[in-house]
Structure 1
Amino acid sequence: MISYVKQSAVTIPGSDILRQKSPVPTRQFSVLPRLPAVKSRRSSVVSIAKPLYVSSIEGFGSLKRSSTDHQKSSLITCKAYEADQSQPVDANIPQPQTRSEAAKKLKIGIYFATWWALNVVFNIYNKKVLNAFPFPWLTSTLSLATGSLMMLISWATRIAEAPKTDLEFWKTLFPVAVAHTIGHVAATVSMSKVAVSFTHIIKSGEPAFSVLVSRFILGETFPVPVYLSLIPIIGGCALSALTELNFNMTGFMGAMISNLAFVFRNIFSKKGMKGKSVSGMNYYACLSILSLLILTPFAIAVEGPQMWAVGWENALSQIGPHFIW
């Protein structure tokens, strides 16, 4: 606030302003409050003919400050707009936090799309192999061996950091690996007997198995909408089983056993692996390695090298010596 006061040109020594007294006190009206007397450091003469400027409203308080304090008080503090995390002027401008959340969602979406695409390719080639070489136990073993070999090479070449595990980790992982092995073999057996589409339609009922197992075995409760959402899933699986032209009980039961085994795999994994500092990729690699060790003796006992040799000769006679087709 700037105030301007101008009086007639009268010059009075600064030391006499406070000592002079009017013989007849007169009451004058002023819009400004009375200012205390201040001794000037630069000049002993004050000319009240010059205009009086009040730089700020704080000047009406105590004027006994140092020059540094006066300079600080007369300055206006300006802060950066986003220093206090205030709202943006334009809501359409993306903030860093919003951009990071969008990047995370995009990354998860890319993971899902990649997993879905690779799963489709895996199922197609798995069915081709089983049509030419109908030995699901060996096929399951070879798929686990391939994944395990890839991760071992990645750890050896330091493409991926090897996990730091101990004996307790492998003990905890063992029941998870057993359930994973059963589910993997059962799904492969199912695909060897029925169409891939039918197997995956039955396997889409895994959420229903998860809810039922959690409710009746673990004692967990879910809201009513969760139970109602299972009705179309169970109904769709039942309708697909009834209308399947090439229905096979072995293929149907393999898909159902795979659902149940994978549900227990997830339960064991969540309960047993809490607090374990192993990344998701390394965890699945360790799971595949342990499942391979569990499955190999059973595959040899169920099918055996003699059956594999005969099946290999039949496959070569049907499709020829093509390893990639």
Structure 2
Amino acid sequence: MLTGELPEKQQTSILNSMTMQPRTRKPSTVDKEKLGLFNAHAFTFLILWYFFSACTLFLNKYILATLRSDPTLLGAMQMVMTTIFGFIQMYLPLGMYTPVNREGKPPNFWRNMILVGTTRFSTVVLGLVALKFVAVSFTETVKSSAPLFTVFISKILIGEFTGIYTFFSLIPIMLGLGLCSAYELSFNIQGFVAAMATNLTECLQNVYSKLLISGEKYKYTPAELQFYTSIASIVVQIPACFIMMDIEKVHRTLDMTLLSSLLLNGVFFHFQSISAYVLMDYISPVTHSVANTVKRAFLIWLSVILFGNPVTFLSGLGTVIVTIGVLLYTKAKEHDQQLLEIRERYRNEVVDKELVVRQL
């Protein structure tokens, strides 16, 4: 009997079964991202990322302010140490990630590594240039726009959907971080351009790294990204060191205390970077950018507690606004995700009905 000759009741039964049956699909990174920071592993690596970021930041301050080391030497040592430890962790994951078994390297491997490595190096150099012209707080204020940059870059590079509620929830987060450091604002056009460029390269690096680390067919491990991009960054950094480094100052200040501090700082920097890469596999680039913004506010207040920096009303207000913004972001992302699932379910039902109608 042909399909068009089926009794009306049977046709209705077929239609109902096709529209009501859940569509099965393989678990993907999107499924993992739905839990976000509510995933125990993701939250653990978030804490590790915050901890090692704090260690790196305060040791940076000690090396540059107290030991008066050259900032270019500090950046170069960080890349050297993270290259060494990245190589070790490719063979000893230390429980931070699951190794990927594959034959050979993924397509365009070196092109991808050079692209990410160049953005890593550019972020470091532009950050140093910004600090040369403006206060740390001004750089952090400019970087507070990172979630907005990430939304647009994620849409262009990986087609990530960001709902209208999520988009607007980013505004109080960015505003709050700006207020946290507003008491120390300074403006300089060179510093402003360098800070904005740092923001752009860092967002590009994070989104492109997410694209590589969450691939379905050719998935890069965090250690691979850490190791190969560090090598690419060092290749670009070598000529920059000869141009930017004060060789006489390095010879004059280098001793066992400085050397041991540089080595320890490099270890902290490695674990800060690789924990950030591991975290990327669990959350979206926009959530990662929001977490980075919260981390900056956390480090600002930690420095206030440890170093006794003056606190103003705007700083306290900014912290409250950041906290509220994060709560709003969590609820907005959950709401937008529900709207997206309803929209997709409705679209799938319409497609299934059209298929049945064509068959009848």
Question: TM-score, normalization: structure 2?
Answer: 0.49
Distance 1:186 1:267 in 2: 18
Equivalent residue number for residue 73 of structure 2: 138
Q: Tell me if the contact between 2:118 and 2:236 (Cα under 8 Å) persists in the aligned partners.
A: yes
Shift of 1:117: 0.7
Distance 2:168 2:223 in 1: 34
Equivalent residue number for residue 298 of structure 1: 240
Distance 1:106 1:218 in 2: 26
Distance 1:249 1:311 in 2: 30
Deviation track 1:161-215 (CA, whole Å, cap 9, x = no partner) reads 7995367311222212211211122234445666655544543431121124456
1:159 aligns with 2:159: no
SS of the residue 2:257 aligns to:
coil
CA-based RMSD of the aligned residues comes to 3.6
Shift of 1:141: 1.6
Higher helix share: 2
Q: Tell me if the contact between 1:134 and 1:192 (Cα under 8 Å) persists in the aligned partners.
A: no
Equivalent residue number for residue 310 of structure 1: 249
Shift of 1:269: 3.1
Equivalent residue number for residue 168 of structure 1: 108
Q: Tell me if the contact between 1:183 and 1:262 (Cα under 8 Å) persists in the aligned partners.
A: yes
Structure 2: which 5+ runs fail to align?
1-34, 94-98, 262-360
Which letter maps to 2:235?
L
Distance 2:51 2:147 in 1: 21
1:322 aligns with 2:257: yes
Q: Tell me if the contact between 1:198 and 1:240 (Cα under 8 Å) persists in the aligned partners.
A: no
* Equivalent runs, 1:115-264 vs 2, <5 Å: 115-131=49-65, 132-133=67-68, 135-153=70-88, 158-160=91-93, 165=105, 168-191=108-131, 196=136, 199-214=139-154, 222-239=162-179, 242-244=182-184, 252-264=192-204
SS of the residue 2:116 aligns to:
helix
Q: Answer with 1 or 2: which has the greater Rg.
A: 1
Structure 1: which 5+ runs fail to align?
1-100
* Equivalent runs, 1:18-33 vs 2, <5 Å: none
Higher RCO, 1 or 2 (CA under 8 Å, sep at least 6)? 2
Number of residue equivalences: 214
Deviation track 1:93-115 (CA, whole Å, cap 9, x = no partner) reads xxxxxxxx9xx933322211111
Question: TM-score, normalization: structure 1?
Answer: 0.53
Deviation track 1:267-286 (CA, whole Å, cap 9, x = no partner) reads 33344663324322222222
Equivalent residue number for residue 108 of structure 1: 42
Residue 287 of structure 1, aligned match among 199, 223, 229: 229
Identity %: 24
Distance 1:222 1:312 in 2: 51
Deviates more, 1:266-275 or 1:227-236: 266-275
Structure 1 stretches of 4+ with a deviation exceeding 6 A read 216-221
Shift of 1:309: 2.0
